[in-house]
Amino acid sequence: MLKWLYNLLQQREQRALREVSKASLINTGTMGLRNAESFTSQNPIHFTVYKATGGHVVEFRHYDQKTDRHSGGLYIITDRDDFSDELGKLVMMECLSR
């Protein structure tokens, strides 16, 4: 009886840990890309997607080494818009503006 209860508690704990790790990946917007050394870029653009009422908020951050300045921008993607298309347009616009 105790062994059964112990196994049941272990399974629930493992399931809860998997759900927490999935939620943290979704909330941080990293999608599992943690190794920044594999990407070689002088001035990378960082962006974070936040869920908001009625859509999403996309925040872009950029550091310019030449001027030693940080810049950023906020954009709103409404629920009526296609999220992937709009995000692609925003990333392209930010890349072209650098």
Token duo for residue 77? 């993607």
CA dihedral 10, 15, 20, 21 (to 10 degrees): 100
Own/partner contacts of 51-55, CB < 8 Å, gap of 24 or more, are 52/76, 54/78, 54/79, 55/79, 55/80, 55/81
Per the confidence metrics, is the pTM higher than 0.75? no
Question: How far is it, in rounded angstroms, from Cα 38 to Cα 77?
Answer: 30
Question: Percentage of the chain surpassing pLDDT 90?
Answer: 4
Question: Mean pLDDT, the chain, as a whole number?
Answer: 75
Q: Coil, helix or strand for 30?
A: coil
At 21-50, the pLDDT tens digits run 555 545 445 444 444 455 555 667 788 899
Q: Assign 80 a pLDDT band (cuts: 50, 70, 90).
A: very high
d(Cα 3, Cα 57) in Å, to the nearest integer? 48
Domain spans, the chain:
1-34, 41-98
